[in-house]
Amino acid sequence: MMKWRPPGYEFDARNLVRALFSENTSEGKLLEAAACGHVEIFAKGTAWNGVLWLIMNTLKQDGKPVYTGEELGALREALPIVWR
């Protein structure tokens, strides 16, 4: 017997940035749908590395990154994304 699975989408770094920083994009809407279990999102670790680079180099206060590595790790784990 086959298990039912929702449609899947593969995100690259650009898709992840759009999903995380703009809920009005197609990627943002897919991320919300994934949180509700309507779709699955897949991404490679290299895509997350691109997001990390962007966050660490642009979101700074007094010259220091706003988020710690631990906080960013928690964010990654909280996302409804299957990492490959």
- Residue 72 within any structural domain of the chain: yes
Distance linking the first and last C-alpha atoms of the chain: 26
Q: Can you give the residue range of the structural domain that contains 15?
A: 8-83
Please check whether residue 2 lies inside any domain of the structure. no
Number of domains in the chain: 1
Residue 39 lies in a domain: yes
Rounded distance between C-alpha atoms, residue 59 and residue 67, angstroms:
8
The confidence score (pLDDT) of residue 1 equals 55
**Mean pLDDT per 10-residue interval, the chain, length 84 residues:** 83 97 96 97 96 94 94 96 96
- Considering the domain boundaries, does residue 12 fall inside one? yes
Inter-residue contact 20 to 31 (CB < 8 Å): yes
